[in-house]
Amino acid sequence: MTTIPGTAVRSVSEAVGAERLSGGEGRVIDGIRPAAAVAPESTEEVSRVLGAARRDGLGVAPRGGGTRMGLGGPPERYDLSLDTSRLDRVAAHNPADLTATVEAGITLDALRESLEEHGQFLAMDAPRPDLATVGGTLAAGAIGPLKWQFGSPRDLVVGMKVVQANGRVTKSGGRVVKNVSGYDMARLHVGGLGTLGVIVEVSFKLTPLPRRQATLLAAFDDSGPALSAGLAISNGWAAPLAMVTFDAEANRRGGFTGSARGYFLAVRLGGRPRTLDRQIDDCRRSCDRHGAVCLEVVDAAGTPVLWSKIRDLGWMDDDAPEYTARASVPSSRLPGLIAGLETGGPAPAVVAEPGYGSALVHWFADGERDAVSGAVADARVGAVHAGGSLVLERRPMGSRKIDPWGEVGGSLSIMRRMKERYDPARILNPGRFVGGI
Amino acid sequence: MSANAELIADLEAVVGGAYVLHEPEDLIVYEYDGSVDRGLPAAVVLPASTEEVSGVVRAARRHGAPIVPRGAGTGLSGGAIAHQGGVVAALTRMTRILEVDVDNRFAVVEPGVVNLDLTHAVERHGLYYAPDPSSQKACTIGGNVAENSGGPHCLAYGVTTNHVLGLEVVTADGSVHWLGGRTRESPGYDLRGVVVGSEGTLAIVTKAAVRLLRRPEAVKTLLAVFRELDDASAAVSGVIAAGIVPAAIEMMDELCIRAAEQSVHAGYPTGAGAVLLVEVDGLREAVDEEVDEVERVCLRYRPMEIRTATDPEERERLWAGRKGVLGALGRLAPNYYLVDGTIPRTRLVEVLSRIREISAETGLPIANLLHAGDGNLHPSVLFDERNPDEARTALEIGGRILELCLEVGGVLSGEHGIGLEKQEYFSLMFDDDDMESMAQLKPAFDTGDAFNPGKIFPAGASCVDVFQSAAVARAGAGAWV
Ligand SMILES: Cc1cc2nc3c(=O)[nH]c(=O)nc-3n(C[C@H](O)[C@H](O)[C@H](O)COP(=O)(O)OP(=O)(O)OC[C@H]3O[C@@H](n4cnc5c(N)ncnc54)[C@H](O)[C@@H]3O)c2cc1C
């Protein structure tokens, strides 16, 4: 430990002991390497670390599995990486009440395994569940295709424990599924990028696993009919668990299906046997009506495999895009947005969610950096013009050309005051959130 | 001019003389909501637009008068009571549905729109607004947002916060902000999410963009009658544990059944100790498969009778007893005190039996109606307010029931909020650090404590008077909880 110099090390090792510390290599954000990394083993230790950080004015970046450290602007200060991975217990699981309370550092995979034994799951997915933690996924608000049916994970959180920047441990909500007792503080931390506090424990409502699952995979000539078929399905009676369209580039990179050409629609369906069959029939008809050139049903065994590939596209270490953006628009504007992406500059790989109104767009640079950043800027304009927003989930290191968050409008003044109240010393992820919060 | 006269003149300058009430006989209508408290405001003002709300806020603040937003006044925890005087801002003139976007399935409405009116307005598109508080014929979207209201069908579809995309609000400096938007995701802190359920203490909601859902293809209602309350409770836990999440699971105990029989003649068998109502909706096949499964679970707990219905009239008949029960309780006692709390769904049997013990010990009957599927209890203590001892005991029982909810891992309120009613219990659930952290939201919204001061957080004893029956009258004929 003596090899790491500076206040950060001294201050944190006094708080929790040098054995919790390690070097900052492997913890780089935007080219900045922190003086140290600390891995607390309890809420109490997180509290002591933050107390020390505040006293000494250290910049702290909370970290779960490290899959989303590219989200947000460059840090104003970054002295300490606060690793939650040792807070990884399931504190309580009440299967008969469909609720669970877990520590923030548990990975999504570990939690899934533990819940699956009871025929339940947490209806929140995110890329790289082998690494991604519950706390990091919530803080980044970075969720996968299951949101089509289950919405934002905010709606699954029933209670939360947070260590505030002043070191105080605070809780809100409860462990039951229906509650209006006090302000719903958890809402601020979901999608808040750890700028108001460090999430240490979360209570969720759970969902019974569907009895059977299957995926309808349809190929079309181009994006228009694929998106229209998706919209028709979302206006029909079937209730997909997830539904995405993807282009040939996404398919080629991700290896979702064998075919090289075409524009695809994938509909993930679940239910008891008769219900599942009926949904497949309905969706199949919608696809036929919109000119599907090929239809395939992926069975129960193939379904999770296909959807993990879709979910993880762009997040595999060996094929990382230059830019990744998440666009959110009113769902009727999605086809226009996507048409714009197809014509403007270097073609990205696009996974979109018809009926939900969002698209994940990956630009793989392949040497055309300037053209790519121009295309990203155009995509932002397109999303805003359509009445929505576009957030950069990943950008080249050190690049400041494009604000990762975009404009958030008049409520920014309230958001800034939020930060002033909850983290006046600006120790938590300073500079990385909207408007430089 | 007196200070009060100046305040009134300033308010009149914003909304016009006709829309500022300050004569005692006019104010008295606004003295109550559905809760046990009351308080007389200095003035009631009825703005008609966002600009007027903003003007009202500025005027009131110039005079240092607290502002209490108010919808229909059906709240059951005192949220709309001006217990410190000041100005009541009643949003009941802001009743326009500004936009219905059928393609993207959302509507933008003013806060005074009555919950059920929104559903009526979008019905012809096959759409509806899902949160359905039992007071939906009267309560407003603004009030629903403030209380994060639920309803019987929130089991499957979620409460208000799950259906609000964005809010236009007026903050305490009179400025207007959009929080959230019209899309499912927007960057920045989820300020929309903290305003929902903030009981009118952070901002005044002047517009809400809310999601609309499609009417399901099929709906089926199952009514199961049990001799024993414990069996019905166990059946509820059994349904949830079997991995079935119906649209609604409602429950009533023997006292409720007796009251309902007398008033609406629901036709329950004699000797019935509990009734369960389970509604399943969705795809036709899914409804059939799930109702069969619910029935199989119920059969394990010795039901006296099971009936199912699919056509709307028959279903309505099954619901009649449940919907009529609140009005019917009046036949059993002059007053009731309805307590709202949530417990884990695995503890129903135990908690209901302890409530029975409390009733036996105190001598006051307690009727139990429950949004059982999500563990949301509404024990209603029956008493006579003319007997001060009984009134006091009723309130004490309320406290004991809330403590019981907390003891088994539950919470103080499932859907009615803390307001004035439960602020003295708030510290049983949250410690000083928790409360301090919540309280910081007010300076973050820069409220200067202008909106609904002295609520939610503990503030010493609140006044005691029991007037829930008045709110039921306001919720309209046929109101139910
Ligand atoms: C018979 C009956 C049945 C009921 N059933 C249910 C039920 O099933 N589920 C349920 O959840 N509740 C139920 N309630 C409680 C009540 O109806 C709800 O809390 C409802 O949402 C209140 O709406 P309101 O318009 O009457 O609001 P009010 O009572 O007028 O106000 C409630 C709170 O909202 C604030 N407020 C009102 N409008 C605004 C605004 N525009 N901006 C900011 N704050 C505002 C007020 O300050 C107050 O704090 C029932 C009540 C009765 C009397």
Q: What are the tens digits of pLDDT across the range B301-360?
A: 999 999 999 999 989 888 888 888 888 888 889 999 999 999 999 999 999 999 999 999
Question: What's the confidence (pLDDT) of residue A5?
Answer: 54
Instruction: Give the C-alpha separation, A376 to A397, whole Å.
Output: 15
β-pairing verdict for A358-363 and A323-328: antiparallel
pLDDT at B481 over 80: no
In this structure, are residues A42 and A28 in contact, taking their beta carbons and an 8 Å threshold? Answer: no
Q: What are the C-alpha distances in Å from B170 to residues A125, B54, B159, B450?
A: 36, 6, 23, 12
Count of CB atoms within 10 A of residue A38's CB? 27
List the Cα angle A152/A153/A157 in 5-degree steps.
135
Q: Which of B184, B187, B445 is facing A408, going by the closest CB pair?
A: B187
Residues of B in Cβ contact (< 8 Å) with A358? 183-185
Question: What's the confidence (pLDDT) of residue A2?
Answer: 35
Instruction: Give the C-alpha separation, B115 to B117, whole Å.
Output: 6
Q: B463 pLDDT band (50/70/90 cuts)?
A: very low
In this structure, are residues A128 and A137 in contact, taking their beta carbons and an 8 Å threshold? Answer: no
- The residue to mutate among B115, B147, B194, having the most atoms of ligand 1 within 8 angstroms of its beta carbon, is B147
SS3 B85: coil
Name the helix (H) or strand (E) containing B117.
Answer: helix B115-122
Instruction: Give the C-alpha separation, B270 to B268, whole Å.
Output: 7
Question: What's the confidence (pLDDT) of residue B158?
Answer: 93
Helix axes B388-407, B348-362, angle to 10 degrees: 160
Question: What's the confidence (pLDDT) of residue A367?
Answer: 65
Question: What's the confidence (pLDDT) of residue B330?
Answer: 84
In this structure, are residues A39 and A83 in contact, taking their beta carbons and an 8 Å threshold? Answer: yes
Q: Helix count (H) and strand count (E) of chain B?
A: 17, 19
Domains of chain B from N-terminus onward = 3-90 (3.30.43.10), 97-214 (3.30.465.10), 216-331 (3.30.70.2190), 333-368+375-421 (3.30.70), 432-481 (no CATH)
Instruction: Give the C-alpha separation, B71 to B45, whole Å.
Output: 12
Q: Which of B103, B184, B444 is facing A421, going by the closest CB pair?
A: B444
Count of CB atoms within 10 A of residue A258's CB? 7
Q: What is the DSSP annotation of B370-408?
A: EEGGGTEEEEEEEE-TTSHHHHHHHHHHHHHHHHHHHHT
pLDDT by residue for chain A (437 residues), tens only, comes to: 333 458 888 989 999 999 999 999 999 999 999 999 999 999 999 999 999 999 999 999 999 999 999 999 999 999 999 999 999 999 999 999 999 999 999 999 999 999 999 999 999 999 999 999 999 999 999 889 999 999 999 999 999 999 999 999 999 999 999 999 999 999 999 999 999 999 999 999 999 999 999 999 999 999 999 999 999 999 999 999 999 999 999 999 999 998 878 999 999 999 999 999 999 999 999 999 999 999 999 999 999 999 999 999 999 878 889 999 999 999 999 999 999 998 877 889 999 999 999 999 999 877 677 788 899 999 999 999 999 999 999 999 888 889 999 999 889 999 999 999 999 999 999 999 999 99
End-to-end CA distance of chain A: 32
Instruction: Give the ligand 1 atom nearest the CA of B136.
Output: 17
In this structure, are residues B256 and B194 in contact, taking their beta carbons and an 8 Å threshold? Answer: no
Q: Which residues contact A227 (CB under 8 A, 6 or more apart)?
A: A245, A334, A335, A338, A352, A354
Residues of B in Cβ contact (< 8 Å) with A227? none
B48-85 burial: b if 16+ Cβ within 10 Å, else e? bebebbbbbbbbbbebebbbbbbbbbbbbbbbbbbbee
Q: Nearest residue of B to residue A353 by CA position?
A: B184
Query: Backbone phi, then psi, for B390, in 5-degree steps?
Result: -65, -40
- Dihedral of the alpha carbons of B213, B216, B222, B223, in degrees to the nearest 10: 40
Residues of B in Cβ contact (< 8 Å) with A409? 177-178
Question: What's the confidence (pLDDT) of residue B480?
Answer: 57
Q: Which amino acid is at A269?
A: L
Instruction: Give the C-alpha separation, B420 to B33, whole Å.
Output: 11
CA of B74 to the centre of ligand 1 (A): 5
- The residue to mutate among B32, B49, B50, B135, having the most atoms of ligand 1 within 8 angstroms of its beta carbon, is B135
Which regions of B153-300 does DSSP assign to beta strands (E)? 164-170, 176-180, 204-211, 213-214, 218-226, 248-253, 274-282
B183 touches A: beta carbon within 8 Å: yes
Q: Which of B158, B161, B241 is facing A95, going by the closest CB pair?
A: B241
Average pLDDT of span B111-137: 96
B456 touches A: beta carbon within 8 Å: yes
Encoding tokens for residue B290?
Answer: 């799930």
End-to-end CA distance of chain B: 46
Instruction: Give the C-alpha separation, B60 to B209, whole Å.
Output: 27
Q: What is the DSSP annotation of A150-203?
A: H--GGGGEEEEEEEETTS-EEEEE-SSS---SS--THHHHTTSTTSSEEEEEEE
Instruction: Give the C-alpha separation, A385 to A327, whole Å.
Output: 12
pLDDT at B261 over 90: no
Instruction: Give the C-alpha separation, A255 to A61, whole Å.
Output: 34
**Minimum mean pLDDT range among A94-98, B22-26, B241-245, B378-382:** B241-245
The overall average pLDDT reported for chain B is 92
B442 touches A: beta carbon within 8 Å: no
CA of B300 to the centre of ligand 1 (A): 38
- Dihedral of the alpha carbons of B288, B116, B112, B325, in degrees to the nearest 10: -100
Instruction: Give the C-alpha separation, A60 to A224, whole Å.
Output: 45
Instruction: Give the ligand 1 atom nearest the CA of B152.
Output: 8
Q: How far is B321 from chain A (nearest CA, A)?
A: 24
Question: What's the confidence (pLDDT) of residue A1?
Answer: 34
List the Cα angle A125/A127/A130 in 5-degree steps.
90
Q: What is the DSSP annotation of B407-445?
A: HTT-BS-SSS--TTTTGGGHHHHS-HHHHHHHHTHHHHT
pLDDT at B93 over 90: yes
Instruction: Give the ligand 1 atom nearest the CA of B149.
Output: 11
Question: What's the confidence (pLDDT) of residue B478?
Answer: 52
Task: Report the complex ipTM.
Answer: 0.95
Instruction: Give the C-alpha separation, A360 to A348, whole Å.
Output: 10
Residues of B in Cβ contact (< 8 Å) with A406? 187
In this structure, are residues B320 and B287 in contact, taking their beta carbons and an 8 Å threshold? Answer: no
Question: What's the confidence (pLDDT) of residue B462?
Answer: 38
B237-264 burial: b if 16+ Cβ within 10 Å, else e? bbbbbbbbbbbbbbbbbbbbbbbbbebb
pLDDT 10s digits, B171-216 = 999 999 999 988 888 899 999 999 999 999 999 999 999 999 999 9
Q: Which of A172, A328, A408 is facing B185, going by the closest CB pair?
A: A328
β-pairing verdict for B248-253 and B366-371: antiparallel
